[in-house]
Amino acid sequence: MKLLGASGKGTGLWLAQRYSAAVLALGTPVLLALAFSHAGYTAWRALFLPPWAKALWLLYLAALLLHAWVGLNHVILDYVHAYAGKLAAHALATALLAGCLFWGAYILWGVA
Eight-state DSSP code of residue 26:
H
Quick check: helix, strand or coil at residue 56?
A: helix
Distances (CA, A) of 73 to 85, 88, 98: 13, 12, 14
Q: Residue 95 and residue 15: Cα distance in Å, rounded?
A: 22
Q: Residue 84 and residue 82: Cα distance in Å, rounded?
A: 6
pLDDT digits (tens, 9 = 90+) for 80-112: 999 999 999 999 999 999 999 999 999 998 876
pLDDT digits (tens, 9 = 90+) for 18-66: 999 999 999 999 888 888 887 788 888 888 889 999 999 999 999 999 9
So where are the chain's domains?
A: 10-110
Q: Does the pLDDT of residue 5 top 80, yes or no?
A: no
Q: Residue 40 and residue 10: Cα distance in Å, rounded?
A: 44
Which pTM does this prediction carry? 0.83
Topology (CATH level 3) of domain 10-110: 3 helical TM bundles of succinate and fumarate reductases (1.20.1300)
